Amino acid sequence: MRADAQRALAQLRSQGVKLAMLSGDAPMRAALLAERLGIADVRGGATPADKLAAVAARQGEGRRVAMVGDGLNDAPVLARADVSFAFAHGSAVARSGADVVLLGDRLADVALARTQSQRTLRVIRQNLAWAALYNAACVPLALVGWLPPWAAGIGMASSSLLVVLNALRVSRTSADEPKV
């Protein structure tokens, strides 16, 4: 068990993530580890095909599935999941099948990556909304001649600067979370 596992899983739970454990380890060993981690939905002795079927079943229920793995046998299920994470120290095959390769050895980086991706999507939506609003308001004014070309140019440059400055907010982190 990773040193930060309990804290990392608590972070994911606080974000509303429903946790499950699919393990190739013996069922009793997987059950004991899952109990220590507070994971009720556990399946030990799972083959790669079992893991694929479990992910596909959850996706069939309309769930978005994230998978964390680092073994050679995890590559197919990592590729099947909606988003997948592998650790840099894991097998090359797992890394190639993952969407995100975590450079450190901290499971908490999964929760951090989720938070950072939500922050990024929020800023992207804000930037798209601003660009659409600006263009919807200023392009017609420029077309009919109510906005002189020099003013439209200054407005477009200012709008672009605003979008860039807003995008820089994504890289900000709070004092208690390390940068991804």
Per-residue pLDDT tens for 54-78?
999 999 999 999 999 888 888 899 9
Provide, rounded to the nearest whole percent, the portion of the chain with pLDDT above 70. 95
Identify whether the C-beta of residue 42 lies closer than 8 Å to the C-beta of residue 24.
no
Please give the C-alpha separations between residue 59 and each of 42, 49, 55, 64, 65, in angstroms, as whole numbers: 17, 15, 6, 6, 7
Residue showing tokens 């507070």: 38
- Radius of gyration of the chain measured on its C-alpha atoms: 22
Range 91-116 average pLDDT: 89
DSSP annotation string for 94-124: HHHH-SEEESSS-THHHHHHHHHHHHHHHHH
Per-residue pLDDT tens for 134-158?
999 998 998 999 999 899 889 999 9
Q: Comparing C-alpha atoms, which of 128, 130, 155 is closest to residue 141?
A: 155
Q: Comparing C-alpha atoms, which of 124, 115, 117 is closest to residue 167?
A: 124
